[in-house]
Every structure is written in C-alpha cells, then in structure tokens.
A and B are shown apart, each in its own frame.
Chain A
Amino acid sequence: MESKNNLYLYVISLSLILFVFMGEIVVYVFSIKSWIEFNILHYRFNNYDNTLTLKYTIRAKRYPSRITIMLLSTTRKVTDKSIYIYYDPDYQKAEIDKKKILVIINFLKYELKIRGYKSHLKVINAIKLKDILLDKSNASNSIIIIPTGAFPENVYSRYINFVKPWVKYGGTLFWTTSRFGYFSASRDTSEINQQSFQYLGDSSQVEFFGTKIINKQTRYMMGTKKSKIGRVLGIKYPFLYGGVNIKKVKLLQGKVLGLIKYSTTSVGMIPLGKGKIVIFGGFIPSASYAKIIAKDISQIIVSGVLSGKIEFYKKYSISNHETVNDKIKVTIPAKYKFILYVFQNSQEGLFYKRLYINSGGISSGL
C-alpha cells in the first residue's frame, strides 16, 4: 500500500499521462480532415450549344474557409505521371545546401500525398537520372525535378545533353534553384567551380530554347504582382533572381505561373518539343522557401495546369456552417475533357479534390 505521502505523485503522473492521451486523441481523431464538404449536385454536357453546366454545393463545417474552384479544359486524358526528384550527395550542388534539398523532397512527398496524387515521388541519383533520360519511350509519362541547381555531368555538360532530347519526347522538367543549366556538377562534394570549363553559363539557355530566356535580377528581388494562373493556384514563390523573361515565355508559347516584376516571372513554363520545362526563379534563402517551392510544384502538377487551359475559376470565403450553392456554365467543344480542382487556399489547408469530367461521367481518379 502506497503511503499517503506518495499519493500526490501518482495523482500528478496519472493526470499528465491522461493529458498526453487526450492530446493524442485530439491530434489523430478529432482533427478530422473533412472541415469542408464539396458535392456536385448536377452536371450536363449540351452537345447542341457545346456547353457544360455544373451545379455544386460547398459547406464549411466548422471554421470559416477560403475555397477556390477551378475548371480546366484539356484535349488529352491526363494521368498522374511518375515523379522523379534528383539528388545525389556525391555530386556538386549550386546555390543550395543539403538541408533545403531535403526539405523540398520531404515536403513534396507530403504535399503530393494530401492532394491525392496517385504516383509516388522517387528520389534518384545521377546514374538513375541518366537511365530515365535515356528511356525516351517513357518521357511523356515522367516528371523530373532538379532541386540541386545543376545537372550532373553524366547527363549534361559542354559535350553531352541527354536532357533536351528527353524533354522533346514529352518529358516534364522542373528546375528550382540557381540559373537554368548554368552549371554542370562534377562527381565531387566540393563547391561548384564557377571557373570550370565544364559550365555552360547562359549559353545553355540558347542550347535549350534557341534564345536567352532568363532575366537575371538581384538575389532578393521579388515579384509583386500575381500572374493569372499564379493567383488562381495560390503560387507563392516570389524570387526573380533566375526568373524567366515574360516576353520570351509568351514568344515560346509558354505560361507565366508565378509572381511578376520588371517583365520577369518567378515561375514560368516553356514548352520544348512535346515536353515542358518549368523554371523557378532560382533563389532559396531559407528552408521556408524550400517548403513554398514544394507546395507550388505539387499545386502545379496536381492541378493539371501545364497541359490544360483554365476555363473558369472562382474563390469563395465561407463562414463556418455556411453552405454555398453555385453553378458553372462554360462553352467548350464537346471533344474536350475537364479537370475540376477544388482546394482550400490557406497555408494549412488540407482540402483538395480533383474530379475528372467528360461526357461519360465524373470520376475522382485521373
């Protein structure tokens, strides 16, 4: 039998354990993910006047929420492509450290998962990167992300370029830091040697696109105005250091996705052959911006905006327990397919719903 003197210790300990338990329950049981309900009440394709009508309802269950609805048209069926992110610790990096690369990788996995992306993110080394780039038959089903600021020398240098043919065959490439293609990384853990004969400098832009596309700015220069797509998707990455010239984006029939200032965008997409290259402005001052990049990449990939056209979007501010009923009517040729992407705008938001719509019906998978 415990003496009365010790009883208070048991009372305190058990109360503390109870608090921890209740906390676990709150974290994993009460914080249910469905603060928002979105349902399509009715949809109809009218072949006579080429219109699509959608009626839907949104309800914020507990807290006020900001929701965006975006309807995207595309001629091709969109699938969730395999995503590869390159990181090889044995190779040099340019203008980024290991921590930020790991933040990008880790966050990207999470951001893709919560958006319901079907394919897993795979981290690949330089050898595997070369294998993927050489397998052009799968290029159109693959996305490669380069967060290291430099292609490894086994795929891109003054003498070889396995990247461009792969993109031309339909691959999608994301470039996140340093200036696009400026450096070629050696198998070495030292800092990249800017005087090395292997680095191509700005001529790599001409090598890829036939013209210089980057408007070099100072490192901390940020875009202030949002592009249309950036505003819809909530793209937050602001730096213009190695950003893309907007005129060149338009000339090459690309898309401006990020923030804008001085004719430069922080995120731009340029098509190349059947593929696309998405270029971020190249400066990541802290891990927070690495997180932002991960979120922006997943938002760009999942929304399907790279291969479709935004036909309609609307933003809603919904009070708690409020239900909004609304309707979309768009005129579009019948052969088109649609992606309806509904998402929560806030930084912490978890609500992402993607619906694939065509004349045959609605499905949640792509």
Chain B
Amino acid sequence: MKIIPKFVSIKNHPLFYWVVLGSILRYVLVLYTSWPYDAPIWYKTSLNIIYGNGIYGRCFFSYPPVWGYIMAFFIFIGSLFIDPKSFAKHSPSLQGLLGIGDQMITSPQFHFFYKTPIFISDLIIAYILYRIVISETKDINKAKQAFLMWFLNPLVLFINCIAGQFSSICVLFLMLSLLFLIKWRFFISGIMLMLGIMTKVFPAYFIPLITGLIISMSYNQNNMNKKLKAFINISSFFVGLFLSALIILLPIIINRELTNFFWSVVGVRKTLSAGVGGFSLWFIQYIPYFSWIKEWQQNHPFTTLLSQHILILISLSIVFLLSNFYGYRNPLKCLVSGAMASLTSLYLFTPIIQAQYLIWIFPLLIIAALVYNKPYSPLLNVLTYSGLLFNLSISGFWIVLLPLCEFSNILKSEDIISISKSYLAFPGLVNRLLREDLWMISTFLGVIAILILFISSFKNLKKKNV
C-alpha cells in the first residue's frame, strides 16, 4: 500500500524526469556502441573470471582488481541467463585497422551487463553533486544544474556509455572519500580512498592533500591535546586505507595470484613504452615543429619518468603544505582547490593523458563553479569538447558503431571499416594526417584550460579566505 505514495514522491522529485531522460539516452548509447580497443579486453577478462582463471590468471586485465570484481558480479548475473560465449563475435574484417588487436565485436547483451555499474556510478555522482550544491547554496536550480552538468555532459556520456571506461567508478569512490573527510569520518574516508586506488591508481595522488587537511583540521579544534588528536585522526585514515587494501587483496593472496597481480598492474606498465601526448604538457609533440620530442622521449624514457615524478612530487608537496596551513578555514573549499591542484599537476606532468582522464576533474569544476561562483563553466566546456574531439579523432566516430552493424541490419561493418580506413589515411593541413591535426587542436585547447586551472587552483589554495 505504501508503494504508490512512495512512487508519487519519487515522481515529484525535481530530478525525476532528468533521471528518466538521462537513463533512456544512456541505454540507447550503451547497447549498440563500443570502443573496439577496450571492449574485447573486458570481454576476455569476464570470460576468464567466469571460467575460473581469476582476474589476473591469464593477465588480460591490467588494472587493480576492484573494477574486475564489480564487472565480475554483473557479468555473472548476465551469464545466468545468456551463454557468455555469445557476448562477442569474431570479426576478421577488423584486422589491420589501426591499433585494434582483437578482432572482436562485443554484443549489446554484454554492453548491458558490463556498462550498468558504470551507469549506476554516474547517476550516484550526479546525485551527490546535487546534494552538495543544495546543502552549500540552498539553491535548487543550481543543484539541478550541477546534476545535469555531470549526467548529460557529452564527454561523460561518450566515455561511460559508448567507450564503457570505468573512470566514473573511481571518481565516485574518490568523491565519497573526500566528503567523509570533511565530515570528520577519517576511517571510512580511508576505506573509500583505497577502493578508488584499487580501481584506478590515480586517487593515490590525493594522499598528501588529505593528510595535510586532516592535520590542519585537527590542529584547529578547541582541544587540549592537538598533536594526539591529529595523530589519532591520521591513524584512523591510514587504518581504513590499509584495512580496505587487505580486504581487496586477500583473495588474490590466498589464490596465489599476487605475482600475476603485480605483473599485470605494475610490471606490464613499467615495461611499456607508453609514449607521450594527449592532454599533458607533452602535447607539443603534435605541433609539427616539435615532432622530434616524441623520438627524444623514446630515447630518454628515464629522463621523462624522472622529470614526471619530480614535478608531481613538488606540486603535491606544495598542496600538502598549503592545505596544512589554510585547510581548517573552509575544508570543502580547500579540498576542491587542493584536489584540482593535485589533478592538474598530474595532467600536466604525466607523459600521456588520455581524454577519458579529463572527467576526473569535472565534479570539482562543477562544485567550484556553482558553489563558489568560480568562472569554471567555460573551462569545463573546453575540456569536454576538446576531450570529445580527441577521442573521436583516434579512428573516427564511426568505429564505435561496429556493434550496431554486427548485431542489427541497420549498417554494414564493411562500410564502417572502409570509412575508418579512409579517414585514417586522410591527409592533414599542417600535419601528415588529418587526425594529427585534430589531436593538435584538441590537446592545445585542453592543455590551455588545464594550465589556467592549475594556476588558479594553487592561487585559491593560498588565499586567506580559503
């Protein structure tokens, strides 16, 4: 009997129609599109998990395990109804198409199951943004705007629904960790941060900020023993961090997969000569005059690695000190600025930054723009469209439609592949190829936006009214 009033109250929620619209839009995109570079890896990983190889048994999966666990759960549910072998089709016609190693096209059923947790995390992030903005501004319109700025953001839609990349799950853990932090719940903040780190490593870069902020918050309490308080709070955070790591890694240790885990997550990446480019300072290699930089980096990988680590270490140390000195005055504001400073440092100094990494900073930009009235909305747009342009220029937009060709009669995959091949060979105006021109334009705009954010976030951290 209570169901009907409950449904009416949900229906009257200011976000109800947007959630419905966003969900329909998402599932239209989710089912018949994929990123042919990544989807076969998720397919092989899921199949290996189902067959009992564990996450790292045959080393297709090169991330920490949390995404593997979450995906496993959803794929397992799917496999109760559908033979997992039918989750993908072999497509030899993909052979020779740039960078696509596995000639495999994944099915709409597979997309439904593996992209659903990404959809859920997207929805929760948007809802948390809504709650933060409403609690800080009491302005329902701004809160709705925050929800929509994430939930209907074109790059977020592309990365999460079409490409099926799991960055938003990591962003969700990170947001929860930071929110618990400013609410003085350090233990659970540690748990959430480690879940983020064990999804994708980048939240580890937030540890200096968080530590600085905990010290700052603890020292500015009306408490007799401030040092003890700071020690207890930091300890709670790190206990949460390590306990969470233990729980996540325990089954891997018990099943003697730890070597494979290190090999897959660290070893493979360490030996990879990943190159330089994307939305980092190394983007200049796309400008014809600086194209020698790519070759220079390949000949000096150690210098690249060392400069990356030194610059990031310096930036994060400054973040630590500033958050330590000024964080207590307005922890949320300090957290937003500090997190932006940490992320922009990471973006600028890491040798290669893919477009999907840009969405990590979006929730921070949304909060800063709507809660603290910072002029970040145009920068958010620049990052959104430059990221989108970069991704679409890799192999052309059409390539994401391959599942639509293989699993419906609307389009022919041969046509899509032929268009993509023509695009890949299409000459550019400034560079050799058109796609290199597009990378140059998109990364130039994106890096300018990141530089502005980098400077302004450090300035904001230093301000006395933080």
Chain A residues within CB distance 8 Å of chain B: 5-6, 8-10, 12-13, 16-17, 19-20, 22-24, 26-28, 30-33, 35, 63-64, 97-99, 102-103, 106-107, 109-110, 114, 286-288, 291, 320, 346-350
Contacts of B55 in A (CB 8 A): 27
**How far is it, in angstroms, between the C-alpha of A275 and the C-alpha of B215 when the chains are bound?**
68
Partner of A63 from B48, B76, B85, B117 at Cβ < 8 Å = B85
Given A30-B76, A63-B84, A106-B59, is A349 in contact with B51 using a C-beta cutoff of 8 Å?
Answer: yes
A99 and B54 form a contact (CB under 8 A): no
Would you give the shortest CB distance from B86 to chain A, in whole angstroms? 10
A28 and B54 form a contact (CB under 8 A): yes
B101 and A98 form a contact (CB under 8 A): no
29 pairs, A vs B, C-beta closer than 8 Å: A5-B131, A8-B131, A10-B188, A17-B191, A19-B117, A20-B195, A20-B248, A23-B68, A23-B69, A24-B69, A26-B72, A28-B251, A28-B254, A31-B50, A31-B51, A32-B52, A63-B79, A97-B271, A99-B268, A102-B271, A106-B267, A110-B260, A114-B53, A286-B101, A346-B85, A347-B44, A348-B51, A348-B53, A350-B53
A63 and B268 form a contact (CB under 8 A): no
Partner of B251 from A6, A27, A33, A98 at Cβ < 8 Å = A27
B66 within 8 A of A: yes
B70 and A20 form a contact (CB under 8 A): yes
A25, closest chain B residue (CB)? B73
B70, closest chain A residue (CB)? A23
Would you give the shortest CB distance from B335 to chain A, in whole angstroms? 15
B69 and A27 form a contact (CB under 8 A): yes
Contacts of A63 in B (CB 8 A): 50, 79, 83-85
**How far is it, in angstroms, between the C-alpha of A84 and the C-alpha of B260 when the chains are bound?**
19
Partner of A106 from B49, B128, B263, B272 at Cβ < 8 Å = B263
Chain B residues within CB distance 8 Å of chain A: 44, 47-55, 57-59, 66, 68-73, 76, 79, 83-85, 101-102, 117, 124, 127-128, 131, 135, 172-173, 176, 179-180, 183, 188, 191-192, 195, 248, 251, 254-255, 259-260, 263, 267-268, 271-272
Contacts of A114 in B (CB 8 A): 53, 57
Q: Please give me the 5 A-B residue pairs with the lowest Cβ-Cβ distance, nearest first.
A: A23-B69, A99-B271, A33-B52, A23-B73, A26-B76
**How far is it, in angstroms, between the C-alpha of A19 and the C-alpha of B180 when the chains are bound?**
19
Partner of B44 from A6, A23, A348 at Cβ < 8 Å = A348
**How far is it, in angstroms, between the C-alpha of A99 and the C-alpha of B269 when the chains are bound?**
9
B83 and A291 form a contact (CB under 8 A): no
Contacts of B51 in A (CB 8 A): 31, 33, 35, 348-350
Given A63-B83, A106-B59, A348-B47, is A23 in contact with B267 using a C-beta cutoff of 8 Å?
Answer: no
Contacts of A97 in B (CB 8 A): 271
Would you give the shortest CB distance from A334 to chain B, in whole angstroms? 39
Would you give the shortest CB distance from B301 to chain A, in whole angstroms? 12
Q: Which secondary structure dominates where chain B touches chain A?
A: helix
**How far is it, in angstroms, between the C-alpha of A19 and the C-alpha of B255 when the chains are bound?**
20
A31 and B66 form a contact (CB under 8 A): no
Contacts of A32 in B (CB 8 A): 52
A99, closest chain B residue (CB)? B271
Contacts of A347 in B (CB 8 A): 44
**How far is it, in angstroms, between the C-alpha of A5 and the C-alpha of B69 when the chains are bound?**
30
**How far is it, in angstroms, between the C-alpha of A32 and the C-alpha of B54 when the chains are bound?**
10
B173 and A16 form a contact (CB under 8 A): yes
**How far is it, in angstroms, between the C-alpha of A358 and the C-alpha of B72 when the chains are bound?**
43
Partner of B176 from A9, A19, A102, A286 at Cβ < 8 Å = A9
A20 and B272 form a contact (CB under 8 A): no
B135, closest chain A residue (CB)? A5
Would you give the shortest CB distance from A234 to chain B, in whole angstroms? 15
A20 and B66 form a contact (CB under 8 A): yes
Contacts of B49 in A (CB 8 A): 26-27, 31
B134, closest chain A residue (CB)? A5
Contacts of A10 in B (CB 8 A): 188
**How far is it, in angstroms, between the C-alpha of A103 and the C-alpha of B48 when the chains are bound?**
17
Partner of B263 from A13, A24, A102, A286 at Cβ < 8 Å = A102
**How far is it, in angstroms, between the C-alpha of A328 and the C-alpha of B49 when the chains are bound?**
34
Contacts of B180 in A (CB 8 A): 9, 13
**How far is it, in angstroms, between the C-alpha of A26 and the C-alpha of B79 when the chains are bound?**
12
**How far is it, in angstroms, between the C-alpha of A9 and the C-alpha of B127 when the chains are bound?**
11
Would you give the shortest CB distance from A317 to chain B, in whole angstroms? 11
Contacts of A20 in B (CB 8 A): 66, 69-70, 195, 248
Given contacts A16-B173, A30-B76, 13 further A-B contacts (CB under 8 A): A6-B183, A8-B131, A12-B128, A12-B176, A26-B49, A31-B49, A31-B51, A35-B51, A99-B271, A106-B59, A110-B260, A320-B83, A348-B53
Partner of A13 from B58, B131, B192 at Cβ < 8 Å = B192
**How far is it, in angstroms, between the C-alpha of A346 and the C-alpha of B189 when the chains are bound?**
43
Contacts of B176 in A (CB 8 A): 9, 12-13, 16
**How far is it, in angstroms, between the C-alpha of A12 and the C-alpha of B173 when the chains are bound?**
10
Would you give the shortest CB distance from B102 to chain A, in whole angstroms? 8
A19 and B85 form a contact (CB under 8 A): no
Would you give the shortest CB distance from B194 to chain A, in whole angstroms? 11
Would you give the shortest CB distance from A98 to chain B, in whole angstroms? 6
**How far is it, in angstroms, between the C-alpha of A349 and the C-alpha of B52 when the chains are bound?**
9
Given A98-B271, A286-B101, is A350 in contact with B52 using a C-beta cutoff of 8 Å?
Answer: yes
Partner of A19 from B48, B52, B73, B79 at Cβ < 8 Å = B73
Contacts of B248 in A (CB 8 A): 20, 24
**How far is it, in angstroms, between the C-alpha of A31 and the C-alpha of B57 when the chains are bound?**
13
B83 and A16 form a contact (CB under 8 A): no
Would you give the shortest CB distance from B246 to chain A, in whole angstroms? 12
Q: Which of A17, A26, A64, A97 has the most CB of B within 10 A?
A: A26
Would you give the shortest CB distance from B37 to chain A, in whole angstroms? 13
Would you give the shortest CB distance from B127 to chain A, in whole angstroms? 8
A64 and B172 form a contact (CB under 8 A): no
Contacts of A288 in B (CB 8 A): 101-102
Q: Which of A23, A32, A63 has the most CB of B within 10 A?
A: A23
Would you give the shortest CB distance from A266 to chain B, in whole angstroms? 18
**How far is it, in angstroms, between the C-alpha of A49 and the C-alpha of B70 when the chains are bound?**
59
A106 and B260 form a contact (CB under 8 A): yes
B70 and A19 form a contact (CB under 8 A): yes
Contacts of A110 in B (CB 8 A): 57-59, 260
Would you give the shortest CB distance from A64 to chain B, in whole angstroms? 6
Q: Which of B49, B117, B127, B191 has the most CB of A within 10 A?
A: B49
**How far is it, in angstroms, between the C-alpha of A320 and the C-alpha of B85 when the chains are bound?**
12
Would you give the shortest CB distance from B379 to chain A, in whole angstroms? 28
Contacts of B85 in A (CB 8 A): 63-64, 346
Contacts of A286 in B (CB 8 A): 101
Contacts of A23 in B (CB 8 A): 66, 68-73
**How far is it, in angstroms, between the C-alpha of A346 and the C-alpha of B48 when the chains are bound?**
11
Contacts of A12 in B (CB 8 A): 124, 128, 176
**How far is it, in angstroms, between the C-alpha of A63 and the C-alpha of B268 when the chains are bound?**
32
Partner of B52 from A6, A31, A287 at Cβ < 8 Å = A31
**How far is it, in angstroms, between the C-alpha of A63 and the C-alpha of B80 when the chains are bound?**
10
Contacts of B183 in A (CB 8 A): 6, 9
